[in-house]
Structure 1
């Protein structure tokens, strides 16, 4: 057994969720596909023998061409066969399946990435939701990279926003709200719940304790480091092997393009490990419920009473309307679904920020909550004295809530800027890695768009389409939700635009997730087909899709200039793919706020 094959053996992983047994089943099923395909193929094509027959003039003096598709003056100099001749004389079946080639290429190029999927963050209670998150990430790397980037940009935005507030617990609020990006966060502006939570000194424990209870991490572990290191080292050594082996004999099953098409997974996993999202839905829910048990509210007679003595409503809570068709994805705590929570999370943050902003403004003018009281100076240990933070429920609410706020996103949210930046970063990673794979295959003789490059192009295009559909679905869902809230007394009576937005949002989400599921299966099957030699047939080898049947030809014998040009193309693809991955990681590290990382 070669060193590469030993290296390609997956390390022992400690999966954090039993749903990965389903993932293992999917991987094992794909391993059986080559054998299934092998048994269904009744005939196999021997292209070397076919070229020998062409040179023997069995099919006439014009049955062969050179590697540019031009007719050769001497049939003995033929190195390629026109597509029409290839199908008629050589047959339309692929080359015979070779287990030795499949086993080595599959274990070196694809298996490490399938194992690395286990290091993606999940955390949903439903195992099926976790498995669907795997298919969603694999089916749309664009969406996976977009969710990573939007999470980092959200953390950077909220840190810079709350850094301007000097009221107590502002920094705690930053960490708490940033940690709740993976949850269906809601903020209640009705009454004086939020104002009491921000103003009253009795609620200082609420903020500090919740920070502690949310201080669990999904971060670096031995299994995560081993998985990433395994993929990177295997990738490096297999690339070296691909350039040193006899590429002319293994070009049809070479995994250079496969390594590039899956390379997006490394920066996405590394980025999530750095961000450490709080995606354990059970622990997040328990932490918030535990904190809300020690929340206090102001009363009309200037007293402070536990919120539990008033009613069951709380200022900051998690949406429980899981069955509502607009909120389904918001309840799945896997971070790949952060695209669905961007608007609701930003709205909730803005409501809390409004309270801290108004309270900070009053403090700057030494105005206590109770306008009839006198400002009590603090000291170096206690900048704002608790005496300045007590008042009646009406005074507390007036101190924090601005009447001009109607619950909609203000212009200062910068949400569209964050969406644009996340979109550019995600598309750059997707098309940098997929583009490298497409170019690797297209510039390998026979050059042009063929089965392999076409399959990769379909994968990248579908990935982008899924991302567009799901992001648009979240925009329409936010519009429908905000429009519905304008009719609180008659929520069942909605304008036709809201009805259409709701219906179209749900449709886009369902179609997009279905396409992602199919696209994930598509890319795994494509890689399997590549290693089994399924694409090594006249139609695929001749690049008929790009050249057309009349001008297509199958290069069978590679010449020295062909190998030089092919290796140069591979080097270019390698630089493009690895460069895109490295730049994405650098961008994420530049955007991460150190205190939030």
Structure 2
């Protein structure tokens, strides 16, 4: 709370320099217009229809500029402080509960800017994470072989890491087949069993947001509405930031393994006890043969794959395709081993099948052999075509992408649309500064998501090579894809940073009366200069008419947030396959 109050004081002090304290008093201006000081023409009712100047409750845009000026309304500290503390400050505090974990602070800062600047990308990465967890459990559901359950846990936990799988030199085959590697799977599962989960500060921040949202929504319907409080009302602000609540709660439920140092340490420790088959059939530590490992985390992959190296889970969008391919390689190895063990085929075909028991379904004597035997045990095709026949994109990627995109866009535009709805129907009705600011935020959020996802697809495509006389080369198209990937990623991050600043400033401007000026309050952009008018004297029937769009906005934003959390909870923690 002290930190939050410090932020509050800092923002207020900063705002005092950019927003003048003294401005236009629209009540005084309307009184002058009614007195006839500015002539008999220009008065309207609150629907824009011409009215007697002495009883006018609104004035045309042209008269507003002439009589009141083009400046903003008076900055009222009590309104700004109340609205900022109730609507915006709880969300700014909740941002600190997002999972980070990158080694570089700049990457953590960028992940925060990407989240706030593009809730679409944040929701997409979260939805993709739970869909991947469900997909991998389904993918391995028909496999029954020792360590398969631990393999699913490990691969799912490594979604926040640049996972790589090496099938050369029987490394992966040995890791799957040899009973000497049982310890590898068990220990790595244990070492990755740390969580970014609930804490007192996280629960307090979430409860603060929920309580503030409920109380302020109730207050907005029951409080006294005036011209000043109507335009500074934070109903729309509360809706446009409501997406943050299911995002934070979702990540806390998933508990992503995003601590870069701990994940790398766990992988290094596990790879030290990984065994590989040899020519004579006696397994040896993989570290005795080379620095290559079957499962490892890519390091120093270059600028094209930079986002894959960043462990904050919002970057899961960048790891989606390479992670899927890595999982596929492990799956095929386990699948072939499972099918052969179900047919009672030992690794060493010269030996007979040793029956297991209820504690050991596949006897360890059936899981030993030479390098050639181990490799052949998990191979589905002849060496000359393996594994080039497989998709370079992975299975099920399109359906998961489409579903993740759908729920992400629904959450983004459900909350953004609610904010636009509330601001649009607040007198004067129409698309103006407030509703337009929210619309720009939603559009930019979607554009950032499109850029970043396209960048990840191009980055994956840039890894494709063609074989010429046994040598592999990159084509002109793959090199161009790499350049475009870097450009789109950087452009997306710049736009996300700008969008973050934009939405925070838009909220501050709304609370600080910056948008209370003739041009904004008259909805000139929507109605046009000749038809625009500024409602100053808000009638009780105008306030009553706001109940429907305000209730609709609350229902739309909260409904989309609840549905998104329901989506996450349905898919989280899927049933794991049996060993």
TM-score (norm 2): 0.96
Given candidates 271, 275, 293, the residue that maps to 2:250 is 271
Q: Which residue of 2 aligns with 1:18?
A: none
User: Does 1:165 find its partner at 2:147?
Assistant: no
Which runs of 5 or more structure 2 residues have no equivalent in the other structure? none
Q: Which residue of 2 aligns with 1:48?
A: 27
Which runs of 5 or more structure 1 residues have no equivalent in the other structure? 1-9, 14-23
Q: Secondary structure at the match of 2:169?
A: coil
User: Does 1:103 find its partner at 2:84?
Assistant: no
Structure 1 contact 11–227 (Cα < 8 Å) conserved: no
User: Does 1:61 find its partner at 2:40?
Assistant: yes
Q: How does 1:196-235 map to 2 (within 5 A)?
A: 196-235=174-213
Given candidates 431, 434, 444, the residue that maps to 1:452 is 434
Q: Which residue of 2 aligns with 1:20?
A: none
Tell me the distance in 2 between the aligned counterparts of 1:375 and 1:405: 29
Q: How does 1:444-483 map to 2 (within 5 A)?
A: 444-481=426-463, 483=464
- Return the offset for 1:27: 7.2
Tell me the distance in 1 between the aligned counterparts of 2:556 and 2:114: 25
Closer/same/farther in 2, CA of residues 535 and 421 from structure 1, 3 Å limit: same
Structure 2 contact 321–394 (Cα < 8 Å) conserved: no
Per mean C-alpha deviation after superposition, the further-off stretch among 97-106 and 440-449 is 97-106
User: Does 1:418 find its partner at 2:406?
Assistant: no
Tell me the distance in 2 between the aligned counterparts of 1:408 and 1:84: 68
Given candidates 497, 501, 504, the residue that maps to 2:484 is 504
Given candidates 343, 347, 353, the residue that maps to 1:369 is 347
- Return the offset for 1:25: 9.1
Q: Which residue of 2 aligns with 1:558?
A: 538
Tell me the distance in 1 between the aligned counterparts of 2:428 and 2:404: 37
- Return the offset for 1:489: 6.9
Q: Secondary structure at the match of 1:186?
A: strand
Q: How many pairs does the alignment contain?
A: 571
- Return the offset for 1:38: 3.1
- Return the offset for 1:528: 0.7
Q: Secondary structure at the match of 2:39?
A: coil
Per mean C-alpha deviation after superposition, the further-off stretch among 519-528 and 395-404 is 395-404
Q: Secondary structure at the match of 2:276?
A: strand
Q: Which residue of 2 aligns with 1:182?
A: 160
Per mean C-alpha deviation after superposition, the further-off stretch among 138-147 and 585-594 is 585-594
Deviation digits for residues 224-262 of structure 1 (CA, Å, limit 9, x no counterpart)? 111100110111111111111112240111100000000
Structure 1 contact 350–409 (Cα < 8 Å) conserved: no
Q: Which residue of 1 aligns with 2:502?
A: 522
Structure 2 contact 72–517 (Cα < 8 Å) conserved: yes
Deviation digits for residues 493-540 of structure 1 (CA, Å, limit 9, x no counterpart)? 532211221111111111011100000010011111011000000000
TM-score (norm 1): 0.93
Tell me the distance in 2 between the aligned counterparts of 1:359 and 1:26: 58
Q: Which residue of 1 aligns with 2:172?
A: 194
Structure 1 contact 156–591 (Cα < 8 Å) conserved: yes
Q: Which residue of 2 aligns with 1:484?
A: 465
- Return the offset for 1:561: 1.9
Q: Which residue of 2 aligns with 1:355?
A: 333
Q: Secondary structure at the match of 1:317?
A: strand
Structure 1 contact 330–337 (Cα < 8 Å) conserved: yes
Given candidates 415, 424, 429, the residue that maps to 1:433 is 415
- Return the offset for 1:548: 1.0
- Return the offset for 1:378: 1.1
Tell me the distance in 2 between the aligned counterparts of 1:595 and 1:119: 28
Q: Secondary structure at the match of 2:214?
A: helix
Q: Which residue of 1 aligns with 2:391?
A: 409
Q: How does 1:301-380 map to 2 (within 5 A)?
A: 301-322=280-301, 324-380=302-358
